[in-house]
Structure 1
Amino acid sequence: MNMKTPGAVLLLLWSGLVVVAAESGGLQDEDTGAAPTQLTCQPDVHSVLREMSALMAEQRVELRYTKTQMEAMETRLRASENKAETMETRLRASEKTVEEQRAVIKELKEKQEEQAAAVKAVGGSVNLTGSQVEELRREREERRVSFSASLVTSGSETFGPFSKPTTLIYRHVITNTGSAYNPYTGVFRAPVRGVYYFAVFVYGGGHASTTTGVSLHKNEEHVVIAYSHQPSLQYSSSNGASLLLEVGDVVYVKLWPNAWVHDSYNHHTTFSGNLLFPM
């Protein structure tokens, strides 16, 4: 609409000038017949038209420049809006993080207040007596339970066969942290309630009718067996289990009826146990 307005103005101006020129020329012809006046008026009209054309061209250039500037400003405005949205998203994330941290701090404060109240209830002091320190040390030591033992300390010996199950006594102690295993009875007694892992390894010689085998027991309960048989040469087998034990529960190994096992200074036949975690 704006681009057409200067053309319309120019057309109207041109029409008006032609009319004026025509009337002026007609009058002069009637009075004096002076034709040079028409020739003098025509150059003025062309000059005005040229000036208006130049003005229109200048306006077009300015319009294009203005349009370019507006497009650039629109692009910058969109970029600013995108940045604002990004900053708003980051701000929300930061607010969420702050709220989470406040919740953690609040929880820590509550625990601290509970601990302070507990300390106040026992006399308002965290200083431990000698007996309390000893009790804590004993509880820590009780939670360190691990042992391994083999049948013989030196030499070589075969145990069995016997007609009925017989408890094996593993006399050579390799390790016995917590002293829960008794090398004189072959029995492990649980010092704390927890989950323990036990493993047995057996070694024997091949025989046509004699097998090699032992069974793991918890109290009076049979748990697993390590058992093998072949007519010749030496061979071995193993087994293990995780057990939930109460304080005072016992675990031990029995020789399988009519079976034998062999051990030597190489310690082939072993019994081991470890406290995995207290409960």
Structure 2
Amino acid sequence: MMSLALDETVTSLETRLRASEKTVAEQSAFIKELKEKQAEQTAALKELKKEREERKVSFSASLLESGAGNTGPDDEEGNLIYQNVITNIGNAYNPDTGVFTAPVKGVYHFTVFAMGQGHESTGTGVCLYRNGARVVTAWSRQPDERVSASNGTSLLLEENDEVCVKLWPNSWVYDNENHLTTFSGHLLFPM
């Protein structure tokens, strides 16, 4: 009788042990699956952070790094090269060419400020261009003293679209160590 009860107890314990071992194996497989999903999510998050960093675009530059003087007047429009880079997050502005190249498709906001010497026949004027087409102009003229002009616009740009500022024909701009003539742009949001 005792042997029968002992056999039943052993059988019951063996059954419970096998069930526990099966549960442990299932839980181990589930934990492994969770770890794999966590690794995938960590990689996806890292990629999203990288994309977000790539989409941070903002620059501001003034015409002259040092010294003072007029640029222009010239008979034809010519690119203004803003040499004094104040900020260039995303490195989309090229201070060697004066051209901003959109790194991603999105809506960007640009501003131009131009300072000039007042003169009866020479105005102060600049034009903002997108891919070779004039978008906005800032222009002013007065007979003496300093004169300023400014303008801005928001543009939907495709990746690799180019934006630059050109001097208005037969006008001039002035800059000095106070950085009076500037060109700035910022990505408002990607599309």
TM over 0.5: yes
Structure 2 equivalent of residue 253 of structure 1: 165
User: Do structure 1's residue 157 and structure 2's residue 69 form an aligned pair?
Assistant: yes
Give the drift of 1:138: 3.1
The structure where strand makes up a greater share of residues is: 2
Structure 1 equivalent of residue 112 of structure 2: 200
CA distance in 2, matches of 1:199, 1:188: 12
Identity of aligned residues (%): 58
> How many residues in Structure 1 have an aligned counterpart in Structure 2?
158
CA distance in 2, matches of 1:210, 1:193: 38
Structure 2 equivalent of residue 187 of structure 1: 99
Structure 2 equivalent of residue 264 of structure 1: 176
Give the drift of 1:218: 0.6
Structure 1 equivalent of residue 52 of structure 2: 140
Give the drift of 1:221: 1.3
Structure 1 equivalent of residue 124 of structure 2: 212
The structure where helix makes up a greater share of residues is: 1
> Map of 1:39-58 to 2, 5 A cutoff?
none
Structure 1 equivalent of residue 133 of structure 2: 221
Code of the residue aligned with 1:142 in structure 2: it is E
The CA deviation string for residues 45-84 of structure 1, in whole angstroms up to 9 with x for no partner, is xxxxxxxxxxxxxxxxxxxxxxxxxxxxxxxxxxxxxxxx
Code of the residue aligned with 1:174 in structure 2: it is I
Q: Gaps (5+ residues) in structure 1?
A: 1-119
Q: Gaps (5+ residues) in structure 2?
A: 1-32
> TM-score of the superposition, structure 1-length normalised?
0.53
> TM-score of the superposition, structure 2-length normalised?
0.77
Larger Rg, first or second structure (1 or 2) = 1
Code of the residue aligned with 2:99 in structure 1: it is V
CA distance in 1, matches of 2:152, 2:161: 17
